[in-house]
Chain A
Amino acid sequence: MSATLRRLGFLGTVVAVYLFLLAPIAIVVIAAFNAGEYLRFPPEGFSLRWFWKFFASEPFVRAFWFSLKLASFVTVLSTVLGGAAAFYVVRHAGRFRDLLRLFLVAPLQLPAILTGIALLIFFYSVGLGTRGIVGLLIGHTVVSIPYVFLMVGAVLLRFDRTLEEAARSLGASPWTTFRRITLPLIQGGVISGALFAFITSFDQFPISLLLVNVGNTTLPIQLFDYLRFSFDPTAAAASTVSVAMSVAVVWLIHRLVGLEQVTWGGPR
């Protein structure tokens, strides 16, 4: 087989698989803007009716705002917790570094559904139940902390500490040094971690599945319930809103730290 043919074959395969990856998402977005109720080929026409239906649907809108609110709290909590832990592990942990890393990343290694089950049972065992937002907040934070920890840890590992020493030698106190030198230079990693945490919470399914209650449901759960029984493209509009959010986040992360920093398994 000639070299060009081989190259074409390889390229074709890559393109095909990428299409496979992206097609369903594109389809959903197209369906959201489709005038007709079923997606036909060729599409029936452009329309925003499903978006209006989405915005008019009380359960969906409520779920959307709830997801947003929840994700915001989760982001703040996991960023503070995960970021501080990253500082400790990278700079102060010594012999325990690997062990601590393993522990702090563990929620990522175990299936979220298992964690959700464990938390559900736990909350009831201690009498907390799944009332209110607390259980969900805790559950989401547990699986978000590892992301923040990994991203902030990665940035810290690469950080040149002589910069901090220079600042200290010039008269800056440890706090001033952190504020004016360290923080500005690691903020890309911190923000990326925070964004990851946000999206993890916003799109979270298994944990939410087990910990939502009647009063509070998240957008993915609401969407799921809807899809069990109907097929109408309001769900597509809801999904498109989700997709738009995710795309924005990925793009933001790339602008801030560059996607090359996302290594699976965390810093070596």
Chain B
Amino acid sequence: MARAVELARPEPRRPVRSAPPAVLLLLPAGLFLVVFFLVPYVNMVRMSFLTKAQGAAFANVVTLENYLRIFGDTFYWRVIGRTFWLAGLTTVLTLVLGYPLAYAVARASGPRRPLLLMLLLAPLLVGAVVRSYGWMILLGRVGLINQVLRALGRGEAELMYNILGVLIGLVHVYLPFMVLAVAGALEQIPPDVELAARSLGASPWRTFWRVTWPLSLPGVFSGAMLVFVLALSAYVIPILLGGNNVLVMPMLIVQMLLDAFNWPFGSAMAMVLFGLACVVLWAYVKAMNRALRWIPR
């Protein structure tokens, strides 16, 4: 039987040279981030130790005054406290509201899953401004909810331009983050584990409390961390839904930077806010690691 005719071996067209070093792939992004991410942050730290100059945003005089001002004035302590308090409450509420959703998403199968995920993610991609606006329409004096209340003869409720409005907005915007984190953890739990518990006689509530909940804690913890930091740095929602009645640190900082043009002080405030956040998170992570000792790492 005939053999196929010998084909020419593809000859190297030019001398075979070695490929360019792979690190060239990393350099553009790496350098970009070093120059436009790392350096600005370091610079901001430096800025927090400088002073405001006459007519300019800053002067090259090193001082601790900014920090002393912040730590010395109860006004700032109150604003910081309010900011942390709102962030914490938001975290708790997103957990309570988000957990059932996370469970539904994690256990959904087939075509329902992408649908649920899409419904969850779409708000994320819409932007905080649009979502806050939606709440403004709902919560305002002439908003929908008050219209319903008035129609029912219940008078009106102050749902906006106060802490309640801000809270609703914050929970709304950061809910998907918590859901995604918790759903991720829930998905890792093999469903047989719950069935095993039930077969051993545990009631559904017991099963949840002793089996599902502990196993989902990694997701709960990382979701909580994420939401806390996000809520702490929220700007749009407190401004739009809180007006001038709810003052949080990000608002103050932006004011200081863009209106008062005092950069050293603004930087210092930013450093204090996030420095304190780091402390809180560090303690939180420690506690979290102890609670999650059983996880193989």
Chain A positions within 8 Å of B, measured between CB atoms, are 3, 6, 10, 13-14, 17-18, 20-28, 31, 38-41, 80-82, 84-85, 87-89, 91-93, 100, 103-104, 106-107, 110-115, 117-122, 124-125, 138-139, 141-142, 145, 149, 171, 174, 199, 203, 205-206, 209-210, 220, 223-224, 227-228, 231, 235-236, 239, 242-243, 246-247, 249-251, 254, 258-260, 262-265
Task: Indicate whether B162 reaches chain A with its CB closer than 8 angstroms.
Answer: no
Let me know if A88 and B130 touch, CB within 8 A.
no
Let me know if A254 and B37 touch, CB within 8 A.
no
Task: Pick from A28, A120, A239, A265: contact of B257, CB below 8 A.
Answer: A120
Task: Pick from A26, A81, A247: contact of B28, CB below 8 A.
Answer: A81
Chain B positions within 8 Å of A, measured between CB atoms, are 10, 19, 22-23, 25-26, 28-30, 32-33, 36-37, 39-41, 43-44, 47, 57, 97-98, 100-101, 103-104, 113-114, 117-123, 125-138, 140, 142-144, 147-148, 172, 175-177, 180-181, 184, 204, 222, 229-230, 232-233, 235-236, 239-240, 250, 253-254, 257-258, 263, 266-267, 270, 274
> Residues of A contacting B44 with CB < 8 Å?
117-118, 121-122
Let me know if A227 and B136 touch, CB within 8 A.
yes
For residue A106, give the distance in angstroms from its CB to the closest CB of chain B. Answer: 7
| A21-B26 CB under 8 A given contacts A103-B33, A231-B136 | no
Let me know if A41 and B147 touch, CB within 8 A.
yes
15 contacts between A and B (CB under 8 A): A10-B100, A13-B100, A24-B131, A27-B144, A41-B144, A84-B28, A92-B25, A117-B44, A210-B258, A236-B133, A242-B127, A250-B118, A262-B121, A264-B177, A264-B180
Interface centre among A85, A111, A227, A259 (most CB of B within 10 A): A111
For residue B76, give the distance in angstroms from its CB to the closest CB of chain A. Answer: 17
Let me know if A21 and B40 touch, CB within 8 A.
no
| Residue in B closest to A81 when the chains form the complex, CB atoms | B29
Task: Pick from A104, A174, A247: contact of B33, CB below 8 A.
Answer: A104
| Residue in B closest to A204 when the chains form the complex, CB atoms | B127
Let me know if B125 and A28 touch, CB within 8 A.
no
Task: Pick from B39, B127, B254: contact of A122, CB below 8 A.
Answer: B39
Let me know if B240 and A224 touch, CB within 8 A.
yes
> Residues of B contacting A85 with CB < 8 Å?
25-26, 28-30
Tell me whether chain B's interface is mostly helix, strand or loop, or mixed.
helix
For residue B50, give the distance in angstroms from its CB to the closest CB of chain A. Answer: 10
Let me know if A84 and B29 touch, CB within 8 A.
yes
Q: How far is the CA of A220 from the CA of B148 in the complex (A)?
A: 30
> Residues of B contacting A239 with CB < 8 Å?
129-130, 133-134
Let me know if B267 and A117 touch, CB within 8 A.
yes
Extra contacts besides A31-B137, A117-B267, A262-B121 (5): CB < 8 Å = A17-B97, A20-B97, A82-B29, A115-B40, A236-B133
> Residues of B contacting A38 with CB < 8 Å?
142
Q: How far is the CA of A82 from the CA of B33 in the complex (A)?
A: 11
> Residues of B contacting A27 with CB < 8 Å?
134, 137-138, 144
For residue B112, give the distance in angstroms from its CB to the closest CB of chain A. Answer: 11
Q: How far is the CA of A89 from the CA of B23 in the complex (A)?
A: 9
Let me know if B33 and A107 touch, CB within 8 A.
yes
Q: How far is the CA of A3 from the CA of B239 in the complex (A)?
A: 45
Interface centre among B36, B114, B240, B250 (most CB of A within 10 A): B36
Q: How far is the CA of A145 from the CA of B33 in the complex (A)?
A: 9
| A91-B232 CB under 8 A given contacts A223-B130, A227-B133, A259-B117 | no
Let me know if A117 and B257 touch, CB within 8 A.
yes
Interface centre among A28, A223, A242 (most CB of B within 10 A): A28
Let me know if B114 and A264 touch, CB within 8 A.
no
Q: How far is the CA of A50 from the CA of B129 in the complex (A)?
A: 18
Q: Which 3 A-B residue pairs are closest in the complex by CB-CB distance?
A: A24-B134, A111-B233, A203-B127
Q: How far is the CA of A246 from the CA of B130 in the complex (A)?
A: 12
| A242-B137 CB under 8 A given contacts A20-B97, A24-B172 | no
Q: How far is the CA of A203 from the CA of B124 in the complex (A)?
A: 10
| Residue in A closest to B232 when the chains form the complex, CB atoms | A111
Let me know if B147 and A84 touch, CB within 8 A.
no
> Residues of A contacting B180 with CB < 8 Å?
262, 264
> Residues of B contacting A209 with CB < 8 Å?
235, 254
> Residues of B contacting A21 with CB < 8 Å?
119-120, 123, 172, 175-176
Q: How far is the CA of A91 from the CA of B137 in the complex (A)?
A: 50
Task: Pick from A171, A258, A264: contact of B181, CB below 8 A.
Answer: A264
| A28-B43 CB under 8 A given contacts A115-B37, A259-B117 | no
For residue B71, give the distance in angstroms from its CB to the closest CB of chain A. Answer: 20
Let me know if B43 and A84 touch, CB within 8 A.
no
| A250-B258 CB under 8 A given contacts A21-B175, A124-B57 | no
> Residues of B contacting A40 with CB < 8 Å?
147
| Residue in A closest to B41 when the chains form the complex, CB atoms | A118
Let me know if B118 and A259 touch, CB within 8 A.
yes
Q: How far is the CA of A235 from the CA of B274 in the complex (A)?
A: 33
> Residues of A contacting B122 with CB < 8 Å?
22, 25, 246-247, 250
